[in-house]
C-alpha cells in the first residue's frame, strides 16, 4: 500500500445555547461552485464553511472562509448552521474543548490581530485574553480550558497555562509547524499530533517529537484516540496504532475532502472537496460510511 506521502503534500467560560443570538441561514448560502481537486488554492465562497471544532452534539462550531462564527443546531432532526453574533469580530481559527458535562470552552484566533480570544458567557462576548500582544498566532488547540497550544507566526509551537498568575506564551518545540492537533483525554492520556509546513507528520509524547514518513494536508484526533489524516488528493487515512497509516475503505474511496475534524464517539466531520458541503462520517476501524449532510 502506498504511503500518503507519495501523493502529498484552539474563550473560556461555559455557555449554553441561549447565550447566542442565532440567525438561521439557508442551505444555498453554503454552496460552492468552484471547487477542484487539482490543488489547494481553490476559489471558495466567503460564507463556505472552512473549519469545524466540536465537543459533541450541543457544542459544534464552525468558521466560514470570511471568518464568521457559526454553531450547529438541530431542527426537525436536521442539522443546520446558525450564525453567532460576535459584534463584528472575525476569526482565523477556533477550538472547542470540554469544560464539564454538556458544556465547552471556545477559544478563537482573531483574523486580523492574530490574538487569542475566549467566549465570556457573563458578558456574551468574545474577550481578548492573549498573554502578550507581541506574539502573533495562526492556529490553536487545547488540552484543557486552561492549557492552550498555538502555532505562532514563525511556525513555532507555543504553550500557555492560564492556571498560572503570570501567564505567558512559552515555546514548546523548536521545529517549524503549521498546525497542532490535540485529542480529548481518554484512559488518562491525550494524543498530540502536528503537521509541518510541507505536511510532514509529527507525534508528540512527553515533550519528545517523533517524525513519521507521511505527509498530510489536515489531521484530527478523535475521542478514543483514533487519528485520521488527509493526503493531497483528499483521501482519508487512519493511524494503525503502531507505526503508520492505512487508507480508509468504504465510502472513503469515493470521497475527496478539504478538512476533517472529530465529532463524537466514532463520527467525524468532513468538508467535501467537490461541493463544499459538511458531511458526517462514521467509522468502524478503517471502514468509512457517510451518515448525513449538515444543511
Strand, coil or helix: what is 188? Answer: coil
Upper half-sphere CA count for residue 220 (Cβ side, 13 Å): 25
How far apart are the C-alpha atoms of 104 and 15, rounded to whole Å?
Answer: 7
How far apart are the C-alpha atoms of 91 and 81, rounded to whole Å?
Answer: 17
Per-residue pLDDT, averaged over 35-46, amounts to 46
Rg (CA), the chain: 18
Say whether domain 4-294 belongs to CATH 3.20.20.150: no
Residue 207 is predicted with a pLDDT of: 66
Residues 71 and 80 sit within 8 Å (Cβ to Cβ): no
174-233: per-residue pLDDT in tens? 889 999 998 776 766 778 899 999 999 999 877 678 899 899 999 999 888 899 999 999
What pTM was estimated for this model as a whole? 0.82
Residue 58 is predicted with a pLDDT of: 82
The model's confidence at residue 18, banded by pLDDT at 50, 70 and 90, is: very low
How far apart are the C-alpha atoms of 173 and 261, rounded to whole Å?
Answer: 24
- Residue 182, Cβ density class (10 Å: 0-12 exposed, 13-18 middle, ≥19 buried): buried
Residue 295 is predicted with a pLDDT of: 65
The model's confidence at residue 31, banded by pLDDT at 50, 70 and 90, is: very low
> Of 23, 63, 21, 71, which Cα lies nearest the Cα of 44?
63
How many other CB atoms are found less than 10 A from the CB of residue 4? 26
Render the burial of 77-112: b for 16+ CB within 10 Å, e for the rest. Answer: eebbbbbbebeebebbbbbbbbbeeebbbbbbbbee
139-189: per-residue pLDDT in tens? 999 888 889 999 999 999 999 998 877 788 988 878 899 999 987 767 667
Coarse DSSP helix, strand, coil percentages of the chain, rounded to the nearest 5 percent: 5, 50, 45
How many other CB atoms are found less than 10 A from the CB of residue 161? 14
66-116: per-residue pLDDT in tens? 999 999 888 777 888 999 999 899 999 999 988 766 678 899 999 999 999
Positive or negative torsion for Cα 171, 175, 178, 184 = negative
Which residue bears the cell 456574551?
124
Amino acid at each position: 500500500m502506498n504511503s500518503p506521502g507519495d501523493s502529498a503534500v484552539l474563550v473560556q467560560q461555559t455557555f449554553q445555547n441561549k447565550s447566542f443570538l442565532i440567525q438561521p441561514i439557508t442551505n444555498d448560502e453554503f454552496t460552492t461552485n468552484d471547487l477542484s481537486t487539482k490543488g489547494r488554492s481553490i476559489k471558495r465562497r466567503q460564507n463556505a464553511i472552512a473549519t469545524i471544532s466540536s465537543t459533541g452534539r450541543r457544542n459544534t462550531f464552525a468558521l466560514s472562509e470570511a471568518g464568521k462564527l457559526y454553531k450547529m443546531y438541530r431542527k426537525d432532526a436536521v442539522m443546520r448552521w446558525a450564525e453567532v453574533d460576535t459584534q463584528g469580530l472575525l476569526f482565523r481559527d477556533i477550538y472547542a474543548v470540554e469544560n464539564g458535562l454538556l458544556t465547552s470552552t471556545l477559544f478563537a484566533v482573531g483574523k486580523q490581530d492574530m490574538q487569542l480570544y475566549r467566549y465570556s458567557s457573563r458578558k456574551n462576548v468574545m474577550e481578548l485574553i492573549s498573554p502578550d500582544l507581541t506574539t502573533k498566532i495562526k492556529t490553536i488547540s487545547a488540552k484543557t480550558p486552561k492549557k492552550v497550544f498555538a502555532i505562532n507566526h514563525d511556525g513555532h509551537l507555543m504553550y500557555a497555562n492560564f492556571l498560572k498568575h503570570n501567564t505567558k506564551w512559552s515555546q514548546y518545540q523548536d521545529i517549524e509547524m503549521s498546525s497542532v492537533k490535540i485529542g480529548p483525554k481518554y484512559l488518562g492520556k491525550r494524543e498530540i499530533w502536528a503537521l509541518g509546513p510541507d505536511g510532514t507528520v509529527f507525534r508528540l509524547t512527553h515533550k519528545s517529537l517523533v517524525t513519521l514518513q507521511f505527509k498530510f494536508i489536515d489531521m484530527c484526533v478523535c475521542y478514543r484516540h483514533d487519528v485520521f489524516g488527509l493526503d493531497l488528493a483528499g483521501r482519508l487515512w487512519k493511524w494503525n496504532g503502531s507505526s503508520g497509516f492505512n487508507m480508509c475503505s468504504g465510502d472513503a474511496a469515493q470521497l475527496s475532502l478539504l478538512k476533517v475534524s472529530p465529532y463524537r464517539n466514532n463520527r467525524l466531520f468532513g468538508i467535501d472537496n467537490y461541493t463544499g458541503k459538511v458531511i458526517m462520517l462514521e467509522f468502524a476501524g478503517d471502514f468509512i460510511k457517510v451518515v448525513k449532510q449538515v444543511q
